[in-house]
Amino acid sequence: MRKYLRIGKIISLHGIKGEVKIFPTTDNIKRFNDLKSFYILTSEDANENEFEDATIYESVGVKYIKSTCILKIKNFDTIEESTKLIGKSIYVKREDAIPLKSDEYYVVDLIGIKAYMKDEYIGNVKDVMKSKYYNLLVIDYNNKELLVPMVCDYIEDIDIQKSIIKIKTIDGLI
């Protein structure tokens, strides 16, 4: 399991006082209200080792515009200082992430886990897509994408510790 979770990407500047516009990669955009300390890294899929020497940043304010948030970062008070952050990703320690309910999972924990149906390996989860009503697991199945709704009618069990997801046998799914 990853120790750090990506919660957003800095996409542009906002105003002249060094604020940055964030595209959230979290389901709960309001999580930025409680954001105190965080990391900013170039990679969208940062290696755990990259955090060892990474600088810890502090939030001093947030506001929201539609589906983005505007973040004021401590000691970034000018356009020139903040410009170098554009395109970088924001990470938090897992223990500082918003707690999940018993039937919720971080997407990063689902990517790469092995999918089984009737105890037969069918492929690895390569992505999670959002739809209007539920999320879809994208499973790499025989070099094709198999889409499986993340609802109890299709999912038998998810074991993040063992990196396994069991899919119910449903006629026509494969």
CA dihedral 51, 111, 138, 143 (to 10 degrees): 100
Asked whether residue 70 falls in the same domain as residue 136, the answer is: no
pLDDT at 98 over 90: no
Asked whether residue 142 falls in the same domain as residue 86, the answer is: no
In the chain, count H helices and then E strands: 2, 12
pLDDT at 78 over 90: yes
Structural domain contains residue 100: no
Asked whether residue 162 falls in the same domain as residue 135, the answer is: yes
Asked whether residue 34 falls in the same domain as residue 73, the answer is: yes
Asked whether residue 85 falls in the same domain as residue 153, the answer is: no
Of 60, 95, 130, the domain-final residue: 95
For residue 38, give the CATH number of its domain.
2.40.30.60
Would you state the pLDDT for residue 103? 81
Q: Mean pLDDT, to the nearest integer, of 20-38?
A: 91
Structural domain contains residue 153: yes
Domains in the chain, number: 2
Q: How far apart are the first and last CA of the chain?
A: 29
Matching residue, tokens 């970034």: 76
Structural domain contains residue 21: yes
Q: Do 114 and 102 touch, CB atoms closer than 8 A?
A: no
Would you state the pLDDT for residue 80? 94
pLDDT at 173 over 70: no
Model confidence pLDDT, tens digit, residues 120-143? 999 999 999 988 888 999 999 988
Please state, in angstroms and as integers, the Cα–Cα distance from residue 39 to each residue in 18, 57, 97, 111, 144, following that order. Answer: 17, 6, 13, 22, 36
Asked whether residue 90 falls in the same domain as residue 150, the answer is: no
Average pLDDT score over the chain: 90
Asked whether residue 16 falls in the same domain as residue 80, the answer is: yes
Asked whether residue 111 falls in the same domain as residue 91, the answer is: no
Q: How confident is the model at residue 174 (pLDDT cuts 50, 70, 90)?
A: low
Would you state the pLDDT for residue 116? 95
Looking at beta carbons, which pairs linking 97-103 to residues 24 or more positions away fall under 8 Å?
Answer: 97/5, 97/7, 97/31, 98/26, 98/28, 98/31, 98/34
Model confidence pLDDT, tens digit, residues 99-116? 888 888 888 899 999 999
Asked whether residue 47 falls in the same domain as residue 76, the answer is: yes
What is the domain range of residue 44? 4-95
Structural domain contains residue 79: yes
Closest CA to 90 of 132, 133, 135, 43: 43
Q: How confident is the model at residue 47 (pLDDT cuts 50, 70, 90)?
A: confident
List, in order, residues 6 or more apart from 61 with CB less than 8 Å away.
71, 72
Would you state the pLDDT for residue 156? 93
Closest CA to 115 of 86, 92, 147: 147
Tokens of 165: 């997801």
Structural domain contains residue 174: no
Q: Do 68 and 24 touch, CB atoms closer than 8 A?
A: yes
Structural domain contains residue 155: yes
Would you state the pLDDT for residue 172? 63
Q: pLDDT higher for 167 or 173?
A: 167
Structural domain contains residue 158: yes
Q: Do 110 and 25 touch, CB atoms closer than 8 A?
A: no
pLDDT at 87 over 90: yes
Structural domain contains residue 17: yes
